[in-house]
Amino acid sequence: MTETNPLLETWTAPFGVPPFDRIRAEHFPPAFEAALAAHKAEIAAIANDPAPPTFANTMEALERAGSLLTRVASVFFNLTLSAATPELQAVERDWAPRLARHRTEVALDPGVFRRVAALHAERAELGLEPDQFRLLERRHMGLLRAGAGLDAVARGRLTDISTRLATLHTAFGQNVLADENAWHMVLSEADLDGLPESARAAARAAAQERGVDGYVITLARSSVEPFLTFSTRRDLREKAWRAWVARGALDPARDNAALVKEILTLRAERARLLGAADFAVHRLEDTMAKTPEAAEALLRAAWEPARQRAAAEQAELEALARQAGHNGPIEAWDWRYWAERARMAKHDLDAAALKPFFELEAMLRALFETATRLFGVTFEERADIPVYHPDVRTFEVKNPDGSHRGVFLLDNFARTGKRSGAWMSSFRVADALDGRTSPIVVNNNNLARATPTLLSFDDARTLFHEFGHALHGLLSRARYPSQSGTAVLGDFVEFPSQVLEHWFEVKDTLRRHARHYATGEALPDELLDRLLAERNEGQGFATVEYVGSALIDLALHRHPDPAALDLAAFEDAFLKEIGMPPAIGLRHRPIHFGHLFAGGGYAAGYYFYLWAEVLDADGFEAFEETGDPFHPELAAKLKAIYEAGDTRDPMELYTAFRGREPRVDALLRKRGLVQA
- One of 3.40.50.800, 1.10.1370.40, 3.40.1350.10, 3.40.640.10 is the CATH number of 6-176, namely 1.10.1370.40
**Cα angle: 523, vertex 526, 529; to 5 degrees:** 90
Q: Mind listing the pLDDT tens digit for each residue in 43-76?
A: 999 999 999 999 999 999 999 999 999 999 999 9
Residue 23 has pLDDT above 50, yes or no: yes
Residue 673 has pLDDT above 90, yes or no: no
Q: Please give the model's pTM, rounded to 2 decimal places.
A: 0.90
Amino acid of residue 148 = A
Q: Mind listing the pLDDT tens digit for each residue in 456-473?
A: 999 999 999 999 999 999
What is the rounded average pLDDT for all residues in the chain? 95
Q: Mind listing the pLDDT tens digit for each residue in 190-207?
A: 999 999 999 999 999 999
| Residue 416 buriedness (CB in 10 A; 0-12 / 13-18 / 19+) | middle
pLDDT of the residue at 533: 82
Q: Are 88 and 124 in contact (CB under 8 A)?
A: no
Taking residues 375-393, what's their average pLDDT?
97
What is the band of 346 on the pLDDT scale with cuts at 50, 70, 90? confident
**Cα angle: 296, vertex 466, 555; to 5 degrees:** 20
pLDDT of the residue at 3: 58
Taking residues 93-101, what's their average pLDDT?
97
DSSP per residue over 104-155, as a string? HHHHT-HHHHHHHHHHHHTGGGS---HHHHHHHHHHHHHHHHHTTTS-HHHH
Q: 3-state class of 569 per DSSP?
A: helix
Q: Mind listing the pLDDT tens digit for each residue in 252-296?
A: 999 999 999 999 999 999 999 999 999 999 999 999 999 999 999
For 227, the enclosing helix (H) or strand (E) is helix 221-230
First vs last Cα of the chain: how many Å apart? 69
Helix axes 292-323, 539-557, angle to 10 degrees: 140
Q: Which superfamily does 256-349+539-606 belong to?
A: Neurolysin, domain 3 (1.10.1370.10)
CA gyration radius, the chain: 25
pLDDT of the residue at 229: 96
| Residue 299 buriedness (CB in 10 A; 0-12 / 13-18 / 19+) | buried
What is the band of 15 on the pLDDT scale with cuts at 50, 70, 90? very high
Q: How far is 559 from 299, CA to CA, in rounded Å?
A: 18
DSSP per residue over 201-220, as a string? HHHHHHHHHHT-SSEEEESS
Q: Mind listing the pLDDT tens digit for each residue in 413-438?
A: 999 999 988 999 999 999 999 999 99
pLDDT of the residue at 1: 42
Q: What CATH code would you report for 356-533?
A: 1.10.1370.40
The phi-psi region of residue 127 (left if phi > 0; otherwise alpha if psi is between -120 and 50; otherwise beta) is left
Catalytic residue among 340, 359, 396, 466: 466
Share of the chain above pLDDT 70, in %: 99
Q: 3-state class of 54 per DSSP?
A: coil
Residue 497 has pLDDT above 50, yes or no: yes
- Beta-carbon contacts of 321 under 8 Å, excluding residues fewer than 6 positions away, are 327, 330, 334, 338
- The full 3-state SS of 418-474, as one line of letters, equals CCCCCEEEEEECCECECECECCEEEEEEEECCCCCCECCHHHHHHHHHHHHHHHHHH
pLDDT of the residue at 676: 38
Pinpoint the residues of the chain covered by CATH 1.10.1370.40.
Answer: 6-176, 356-533
Q: Mind listing the pLDDT tens digit for each residue in 123-170?
A: 999 999 999 999 999 999 999 999 999 999 999 999 999 999 999 999
pLDDT of the residue at 4: 87
pLDDT of the residue at 2: 46
Q: Which residues of 430-468 are buried (b: 16+ CB within 10 A; e: fewer)?
A: bbeeeeebbbbbbbbbbbbbbeebbbbbebbbbbbbbbb
Q: Mind listing the pLDDT tens digit for each residue in 524-537?
A: 888 888 888 888 88
Q: Mind listing the pLDDT tens digit for each residue in 479-494?
A: 999 999 999 999 999 9
- Is the preceding omega at residue 452 within 30 degrees of 0, hence cis? yes
Q: Is 643 a catalytic residue?
A: no
Pinpoint the residues of the chain covered by CATH 1.10.1370.10.
Answer: 256-349+539-606
Taking residues 330-334, what's their average pLDDT?
97
Residue 643 has pLDDT above 80, yes or no: yes
Q: How far is 536 from 384, CA to CA, in rounded Å?
A: 43
pLDDT of the residue at 675: 60
Check the CA dihedral 524-530-532-537 and report its sign: negative
- Beta-carbon contacts of 569 under 8 Å, excluding residues fewer than 6 positions away, are none
